Amino acid sequence: MSVIEASNLYKNYNGINVLNGVSLTVNEGEVVAVIGPSGSGKSTLLRCLNQLVYIDSGSIKVGGINMVGTDEKGICRYAHKSVLHQIQLKTGLVFQNFHLFPHYNVLKNITDAPVQILKMSKKEAEEKAYALLERMNLSDKAEAYPYQLSGGQAQRVSIARALALSPTVLFFDEPTSALDPELTIEILKVIKNLAKEKMTMVVVTHEMAFARDVADRVIFMDNGSVIEQGAAQELFTNPSSERVKQFLQHFSMEG
Amino acid sequence: MDFNQLLGPMLEGTFVLLKIFFLTLLFALPLGLLVAFGRMSKRKYISRPVRAYQLIMRGTPLILQLMFVFFAPYYIFGRTYDRFTAAIIAFVINYAAYFAEIYRAGIESIPQGQYEAAKVLGYSKAKTFIRIIIPQVVKRILPPMGNETMTLVKDTALAYTIGVAELFRAATNASSRAFSTMPLIVAGLIYFILNFVVEKLFIQAEKKLDYYK
């Protein structure tokens, strides 16, 4: 079953087509890596799927529910607010710069949304948060404030915060781009473990080795369009388009 | 002249000062937030008049605004009203304009990412503002709010110009009756002591919010 069905997404900013007819399907339990040069529209694509950016035209279905559609006349319509809210809760997003809430400690960062938004009991939310922190190897940091965390720890907290809402799909927007190589490995490990648990994920990344080794499918974007997509191994070893070949030249893929 | 005879009116004046001070804060603090929202509105027909109002409040002397608020109804409708009420109105609309700018600076300094993180987690706009944005804004605006609050303590003296019997008026009256500058010095001390307390409170508030960065 497909968790995300996006087709023909268009988004224009000041006369520039940031998304130029992008289509994307993500199946349950699948890990999709989105790669490509900066400014190719990868992040915008994620932000559209997560309602941070509204598309100009196209259609998006999440878990079979219409989020937005476009009729024959080209009029783009979003679903009712309550539907959008339900979809919002089913789609988690992990940011490049974490965006933890600085005035809440780690535990509260994770429990506040479940308690406030899902109306979960505080006790249940905290139990869940502690379990997530243990998975993230951060059990000792529950009481810490975000400014006391390293970048890698902050990013793991933000992953736990997203998971606390039990999303059906988790998006990552360059989750390691603000981290040094050591911390990058730390975060990639976490994502790998989530992949093992069959979490459905879409990861925008510049970590080519990670995309090749962890993703089931890789999508290459350039200038607001999907240039090529396919099984990770296939796309990296035998890309069919010149643009992908040229892009991948810059990465040595040993190891 | 008996010192006690001086002290009575001065204490009454201090009481009026405190009434002006607290009533101004009570109304101007929330009104300022409303003004800040108006100023930040994307709708020009809201933001422009709000900006004009702020420009007038910040661009003309408070002492003139006091007189205007008190005397204008007399010239327009031929009626006078309570001086104290006039003073409160003038202080509230003036301070709201300043508070609004401090709020605006605070609100606009919160990174966009905070709003995005909240939206992705399903927070409504109201919840985002109350739970995520406001607490961070409060921490950031404490120093400039301390400034304004201390200025307000001293500005209450301007109510003297429309005949409100606050501390400064009591002190000048006492001074001329007793042919002494002593009451003025005492008044100065009272203003200082009040602001000493205000400063302490703000420092304490800052310390209380020091647990995060």
**How far B126 CA lies from chain A's nearest CA (Å)?**
12
User: What is the pLDDT at residue B78?
Assistant: 87
Å between A47 CA and nearest CA of chain B: 10
Cβ neighbours of B132 in A, within 8 Å: 101
Percentage of residues in chain A having pLDDT higher than 90? 86
C-alpha to C-alpha distance for B195 and B199, rounded to whole angstroms: 6
How far is the CA of B36 from the CAs of B46, B90, B93, B115, B150, in angstroms? 11, 18, 13, 18, 21
Q: How many CB atoms lie within 10 A of CB A59?
A: 19
Instruction: Output phi, psi for A40, to 5 deg.
Output: -85, -5
Calculate the alpha carbon distances from B70 to A233, B27, B52 in Å. 81, 18, 21
Write the pLDDT tens digit of every residue in A21-57.
Answer: 999 999 999 999 999 999 899 999 999 999 999 999 9
**pLDDT digits 0-9 by tens, B61-119:** 999 999 999 999 999 988 889 999 999 999 999 999 999 999 999 999 999 999 999 99
Q: Which of B122, B135, B213 minimises the CB distance to A117?
A: B122
Partner B contacted by A97 (CB < 8 A): yes
Q: What is the mean pLDDT of residues B42-48?
A: 97
Interface of A with B in 209-248 (CB under 8 A): none
Q: Do A85 and B111 touch (CB under 8 A)?
A: no
The end-to-end CA distance of chain A, in Å, is: 33
**Mean pLDDT, range B7-36, rounded to an integer:** 96
pLDDT for the residue numbered A193: 94
Nearest CB among B116, B122, B131 relative to A99 is that of B116
Per-residue model confidence (pLDDT) at position A101: 98
Q: What is the pLDDT of residues B131-169, one digit of tens each?
A: 999 999 999 999 999 999 999 999 999 999 999 999 999
- ipTM for the predicted complex comes to 0.93
Ramachandran region, residue A25 (left: φ > 0; alpha: ψ -120 to 50; beta: rest): beta
Q: What is the pLDDT of residue B1?
A: 53
Which of B109, B120, B139, B212 has the most A C-beta neighbours within 10 Å, making it the best mutation to test the interface with A? B120
Q: Residue-wise pLDDT tens for chain A (255 aa)?
A: 799 999 999 999 988 999 999 999 999 999 999 999 998 999 999 999 999 999 999 999 999 999 999 999 989 999 999 999 999 999 999 999 999 999 999 999 999 999 999 999 999 999 999 999 999 999 999 999 999 999 999 999 999 999 999 999 999 999 999 999 999 999 999 999 999 999 999 999 999 988 998 999 999 999 999 999 999 888 988 888 999 998 988 776 554
Q: Which two tokens stand for residue A84?
A: 């959008």
For chain A, the farthest-separated pair of C-alpha atoms sits apart, in whole angstroms, at: 56
Q: B90 vs chain A: nearest CA distance in angstroms?
A: 36
pLDDT band at B178 (very low <50, low <70, confident <90, very high): confident
